Every structure is written in C-alpha cells, then in structure tokens.
Structure 1
C-alpha cells in the first residue's frame, strides 16, 4: 500500500467520523483503520493471495466516505434513475421483501418491505445505529476478526450501513428477503456494506444478495455476518453481477449452533477481480452445512473463491460443490479448506471442485485442503479440470443443433446440478436465463 493511498483513506476517515456516533462505534472504526494502515493491501507474497493480484487498487483513489450520501433517501435524481434501470435487471420477484442500497446507502424509494411476522426485524444498519445502537454493538464488535484481513479492516473503518435481518425463535420468515446493492455514477466509489443476519432457535429464512453497477470504476467491499441459533435454518444466495471493470471483495462469516442448517448458493459472473470468502464455524453437534458455488469468468476476469469450514464439534456434516466455467484468458482460483478439530469425532465432510475450460488460454488454480485432528471421521475432497467433450458436441450437431446452442447446452448441463440446488423458483429461473443467454431449449431444439 503506497503512502499516498493510506493518507487518502485517513483523510476520508477523519471526515467520516465527524458524525454523531456512539463512542464505541467511533473506537471500532478507528481500530479498523489502524488495522488497515498496519496491514496494507495484501500482496502475492502471501499464500492466500498468491494467485490474486490486487495491486491495481494502489493506482486508484476511491471515495471510501459517504459518497455524497447520508442514511435515508438522499441519493440524487440521476443516481436513482440509474439505480432504477439496474433494479429492473436485478429484480427477481415482487413478492419478496426488497432493500435497495445505492453506493452503500439505503434508498427507501426503490425498496419495499411487506408486512412481517411478529417479532421479525428487517431494517438498515444506519437506522439501528441512529436509534438503537446497543442492539448491534455486540455483533459488530465481537463476531468478526479483522486484525489479519485488510479488506475486513477497511470495511470496519467505514462501517455505517447495510441490512439487518433478525428472525426470532420459532418463526419462519414469510417470504425471502432480497438485498440489492447498486453502484452508480461516474466517480470511483468504494462501498462498504455490512449485513447482520440472526436467526433464532428453530427459525427459518431465505436471503438473497445481488450486486450490480453502472460504469467500471467502482469497488464493492462487502461483509455479511450470520448467526444461527440451535435448530435454525438459513438459505443464503449471492448473485454477483458487477460490471466487468469493477472490483468486488466480499466476506461472509457464519456461526452455527447445534442442529442448525446453513445452505450457501454463490454465483459469480461479473467484476474484473472478484474474491468471495466464506468462513463457517460449526459450533455445536448435528449441524449441516452445504456450500454450492458457480463462477464463470470470461475475457481477462479473475474470480477467486475461498471457503473454510471449521468442524469444532462432533456429529456434523458438510457438503461442498464449487464449479468453474472459464473462457478466453480468464483466471479462476478455488481454495477450500475443511478443518476438523480434535473433539469433532463422527464428522462427515465432502468437498469437490470441478472446472471446465472453454479456451486454451484460460487458467484455474485449485487447492482443496483437509486438516484433520480427529480419528473417527469420514472426509473426502477432490478437484477435476477438463474441456467440453468433442463427442458430445458432435452428437448434438448431428441432430441439427446449431454449434453455439450445442455449446450452451453442454455448459448448462455442467452447471445444472449447482443451479438445481437453488429452491427459490425466481432465483433458479434467473440463473438458467444467464446460463442459456436467453435461449429456451425446448423451443430452440424443437
């Protein structure tokens, strides 16, 4: 990290801190900035960043402050117009709860929150920090360790808005919650949304995060913190559709208690550099964790997927399937680690990473890992890399299927088991449309 960039963020941070915030939040933000200043941007000399070069960030002075906005509906008419156009592309189902954030700030005009079950909270972090800061203090202060992560530290330094979803004990959220993060304008904006999701004992919810933008000079640095109580269930979907020139870094931390179930569905299509980190702590018995992901870089895009499943207690199951489809000169990175502690007997963990290369110039670096300290476990991992089968292409072409459609059919077939793991029909239809590029197979083939 070059000195001028550190000074730039320090100046922006000083201005950001001038608002009326509680003392504990001011101190937390300062600790985040101090950690970021100490760490600097990661370099390829670090093992976790060996294949992902983010040095381009030192060449651009991003606006990491409020981006000209304050909490509430204060975006300019031009920004709202751009966001409205983006929202049409990002929308999934009008029956969903929807919270829209423009350049990291909540926008009420484009959002819609239906009536909710008694006790359910669907709110913004900015509103909670203004009106009831004590409710989020513990979660912000104690559930994320940013001392070794520069981007988590940067997010903490500028934490100010995001979504809060709180489902009380025994309640099933009546409909999914769709969080839409839109970047607009021609400036080099840096958005740092922080989402807090808590599901009480026996509660259930579906949450979708969508990321889109206008222009190619913005940077999204997002964090989502998930807490699942005993027997809670959460289906978490992330749809990353940033512009191809944008940067996207995100971290999701999950803390699971006994008998809870967490299912992650990650889909990455945009950004010049996209890195998604998913860290799950299985802190109770009889937990089930499922991580499914699909990344599809083209051109010169780089997509980095990193997962860590920490089996801390016995009798837990984890299942992980990540697939990559790479074309042109794209690069992909997968690093999945399963960590089994000494007391985590009877662990059942399965991990698989599969990559499909559509070009001779595409490159994927895959590193599945097992670190096991218990002796009564069943753990497997594996990685495969291949190309489209010529025999399958020939079979389709021989039956009158055009070459480009035959190629799309085989790509769809490769990705379909990840897509079919999505139980929400609107999300699944959206993904199928992306994979098939608007084709209707039944009509095109017949």
Structure 2
C-alpha cells in the first residue's frame, strides 16, 4: 500500500471501526444495511478531501478530520422547551414544522397540523418502517456513487432526517419547515442528517431547511438532501445555515428537476467556522427554469464554500445562478460554479455570476466559474468579481448629502438585497432582510476607515 493510501486509511479508520454500532441501532431493512456497507467501502477508498483534491484546494477540512468521532446515534436528554423555538429565525412563519435536535426527531417540538390529505411530512427513520417501499424507490437515487468522503460518511452513518412526499396536483399555501438544531448536548458530536424530499407533478410547495444552534459550540453537522421534483411543479427550496462560529457544516443538495417545472433554490450561509454546500442540480426535463441564488456573510476566521454543478441534460432549459459574498476580518469565501451542457441540450440559456465584496484588507475570495458545453445552439455566460466598494459610488451618494457611513451601509445592503429579493415567499424574504441588516450593522468594518 502506498504512503498516500495509508494516510487516507488512517484518516477514516475512526469512522470504519465504529460502524457496527449503526447496524445495532434498530431493525433495518437488508437493502439499507447493504447500502450503508457499500458507502463505508467508498469512504475507505475515497478518504476525506484534502487540499490536493482540485475541488477542495481552497477549503482545508483538516480541522474536521482531526475531530474525535463521537456519532450522535441515540437521542440525548435535551432541555429545550417548545417556547424556546420562538427565538429561531423563522418562528414567525406559520405552517407545519419538523424539528430535529442533535440529529434526532423531536415530535414534542414539531408541528404537523394543517397538512393536506396524502402529504407525508415526518421522520425518515419512521418512514423506513411505515413507508419502506416508497422510501426505497428514492433514497440514494440522486446521490448515486459518492463523489467524496463526506457524502459516503452520510450514506453510511445517517440516523434520521426529514421525509417529505408531496402528491401530484397538491398546492401548499404555507411552507414546510425542517429545522436541524444543535442543542447543548451536541458539544463535540458528529451528526449526519438525511433529508428526502419528493415533489409530485404540478405540485406547488415552499420548503425551508434550517441549520441552527442553541447552546453547542464545537460540533460537526454533515447533512445531505435529495430533492426530486416532478413535471410542471413549482418549488422553492430555501436552505438557511447559521451554525455556531466554532462548528463545522458540510452539506449537499442533489436535485433532479422535471419537465416544464419552475424551481428557486436558495442558500444563505452565515455561520460555521468551516461551511461548504455542494449543489448538484440536474435539469432532467425539457422547458424548465431554475434559479439558484445564494448569499454568504463571513467574519472572523470563517470560511464559506459553495461548490455547484448545474447539468443541462435536456433542450430548451434555462438556469440562472447568482451568488454574492460579503467578507469581513480574516474570513474567506469560496465559489466554484460549473454549468455542464450535455450533447443534445440545444437552446440552453444559462447564466452564472459570483460577486464578492471585501470589507477588510485581510478578507479573501476565491472564485472559479466554469462552462462545459457539448451542444452548439446555446446561450451561456459566466462572470465573477472580487473587490471593495467603489469610491465613485460612495462619492456619488455623498455628493447628494448622504454621510460616508450611511453611504457605505446603503451600498452594502443593496449588494445583499440583490439576492434576498429573489426569495419568492414574502414572509421569509422579510425575515431574511431584517436579519442580514442586523448582521451587517454589527460588522466591524462597515464604517469608513479613518
């Protein structure tokens, strides 16, 4: 065995050696246990990413690899009264809500009222017993063979997550919320939430997926979501990440979009010492439109990474990706966006932009937009910018009687507002707008330097 292979093996031994504990958790279908073991083999072969991997060259996950592996396999006693959830970001948004604390479903904190007939909205672990065949049809279907060790780790070790099944022609007026909360007992733990979301043909739904903390500081959240969207559906999926600034967050979204559907996929990343969101979106049907939209705010020593592949597999599809980053102190933002146009995907219309605003001389942004095109009748553009506020823009506002501090605030808020205004669900948009305003007001370099 080569030295590199030995190093890889050592990095994941702690995950391999404890795997039998997963099999002992509860009665599991034979197919699921086999799937877990296959993922474990993939984990052993892949290891965890390093800076030598091209897709991870700007994101050093060594602090995660060095963590002791303490999987949250069983629910811990959690002293979180239901009214404590009122402090969470989207608490004012009405509608059904699933709450998971330290990776485990908490029915006493969840709200399941008001669901239309036929909708499944609950714990994935419970659905594996009550709705096994339907879950089996979709679990791992979009992920397939894991592309890196974190995906394999989730496939092998996940304990619970959200199970959402929206029948065809269902229109939900209120959003469905999935809250993953790191409570006080999460200190030092690793949890692997797994969310499985299936939206039927012509359905209309808003899904809000939140990752927040209440008491824990240092922990590792390794989440994975599969989203299957049917033909002519209308879907808005909003992922909000505000983990502890000492916590680690690696997440993936694997989505397949059906013919003539309309999809809005948002990411708001504010927390975590190291966070990364892997988006894999396949435009699988003709004539659909997808908007991918993201904002990341970092400060201190934070690192926020978005790695995205949008695959145009059918003709007459449009995708537009907009990601903005606002970086302060010594923080870093990473963006890797790739538009992949398959042969035969003619009349593709794809646009990708990444803009980064540096509020400090020590903040850094690494951006790499890409086009990979195998069809000849397409319209594809991409671009990226990294810089500070333009003095001309500040001068323009000051020449109209606006003070320097206010001018900077207006420009920075407008920069964030480009992303927030694309959120379709108005109550969520208003809440995000206020939160981002408050966070930016607390930013240390918002004022004009002396």
Q: TM-score, normalised by structure 2?
A: 0.91
After the TM superposition, which residues 281-360 of structure 1 pair with which residues of structure 2 at under 5 Å, given as runs?
281-360=282-361
Which residue does the alignment assign to 1:233? Answer: 234
Whole-angstrom CA distance in 2 between matches of 1:204 and 1:96 = 15
Q: How does 1:172-211 map to 2 (within 5 A)?
A: 172-185=171-184, 187-211=187-211
1:54 maps onto 2:61 in alignment = yes
**In structure 1, C-alpha distance between the alignment counterparts of 2:356 and 2:299, rounded to whole Å:** 13
CA distance in 1, matches of 2:336, 2:83: 36
Checking the alignment, whether the CA contact within 8 Å between 1:29 and 1:156 is kept in structure 2 is: yes
107-116 or 271-280, which moves further after superposition?
Answer: 107-116
SS of 2:117's equivalent?
coil
Following superposition, the deviation at residue 401 of structure 1 comes to: 5.8
Deviation digits for residues 263-308 of structure 1 (CA, Å, limit 9, x no counterpart): 1111111101110011111111101111011111111111111111
List per-residue Cα deviations over 1:365-389 (Å, max 9, x = no partner).
Answer: 1111001111111111111122113
> Does the aligned pair in 2 maintain the 1:433–1:439 contact within 8 Å?
no
Cα 1:215/1:398, change in 2 over 3 Å: farther
What's the CA shift for 1:94? 4.5
Q: How do 1:114-153 residues align onto structure 2 when only pairs under 5 Å count? A: 114-153=113-152
- Residue 196 of structure 1: CA displacement? 1.0
Matched, 1:99 2:105: no
Q: Is the 8 A contact 2:93 2:428 kept in 1?
A: no
The answer for unaligned runs of 5 or more in structure 2 is 1-6, 442-450
| SS of aligned partner of 1:216 | coil
Verify the 8 A CA contact 2:85 2:91 in the aligned structure 1.
Answer: no
For the residues of structure 2 that align with 1:188 and 1:380, how far apart are their CA atoms?
A: 43
Instruction: Name the CA distance, whole Å, in 2 between partners of 1:58 and 1:401.
Output: 49
- Verify the 8 A CA contact 2:93 2:427 in the aligned structure 1: no
Two-structure CA RMSD over aligned residues (Å): 2.1
Name the count of aligned residue pairs: 432
Of residues 32, 35, 54, the one that matches 1:25 is: 32
- How far residue 405 of structure 1 moved from its aligned partner, in angstroms, is 4.5
Q: Distance in 2 between matches of 1:423 and 1:237?
A: 10
Structure 1: how far apart are the matches of 2:266 and 2:142?
A: 22
Distance 1:342 1:178 in 2: 38
Residue 374 of structure 1: SS of its match in structure 2? coil
Residue ranges of structure 1 left out of the alignment (5+ in a row): 70-74, 441-446
Q: TM-score, normalised by structure 1?
A: 0.92
> Structure 1's 257 and 333: CA in aligned 2 closer, same or farther, altered over 3 A?
same
Q: Do structure 1's residue 420 and structure 2's residue 426 form an aligned pair? A: no
Q: Deviations over 1:196-240 (max 9, x none)?
A: 111111111100011111332111111110111111121000111
CA distance in 1, matches of 2:69, 2:430: 35
SS at 1:90's partner residue?
Answer: coil
Change (3 A) 1:328 1:410: same
> Matched residues in 2 for 1:2 and 1:189: separation?
22
Question: How far is the alpha carbon of 1:62 from its aligned partner?
Answer: 2.9
Q: Are 2:264 and 1:257 aligned?
A: no
Match of 1:212 in 2: 212
Q: Secondary structure at the match of 2:88?
A: helix
CA distance in 2 between counterparts of 1:342 and 1:77 reads 52
Q: Is the 8 A contact 2:142 2:255 kept in 1?
A: no
Kept after mapping to 1: 8 A contact 2:48/2:148: no
Within the candidate set 6, 14, 36, 1:8 is matched to 14
Residue 190 of structure 1 deviates from its aligned partner by: 1.1
SS of the residue 1:61 aligns to: coil
Separation in 2, partners of 1:86, 1:117:
24
Asked if 1:45 is matched to 2:46, the reply is no
Does the residue aligned with 2:408 lie in a helix, a strand or coil? helix
Q: Is the 8 A contact 2:322 2:353 kept in 1?
A: yes
Measured in 1, the distance between the counterparts of 2:367 and 2:197 equals: 30
How far has the Cα of 1:168 moved from its partner?
0.8
1:8-36 residue CA offsets vs partner (Å, 9 max, x unmatched)? 32343211211211111111111122211
Corresponding residue for residue 3 of structure 2: none
- Hey, what does 2:374 align to over in structure 1? 373
Gap change, CA 1:224 and 1:14, over 3 Å in 2: same
Conserved 8 A contact 1:256-1:282: yes
CA–CA separation in structure 2 for the residues paired with 1:393 and 1:92: 37
Further displaced range: 43-52 or 142-151: 142-151
Once the 2 structures are TM-superposed, how far is the Cα of residue 58 of structure 1 from its aligned partner?
2.5
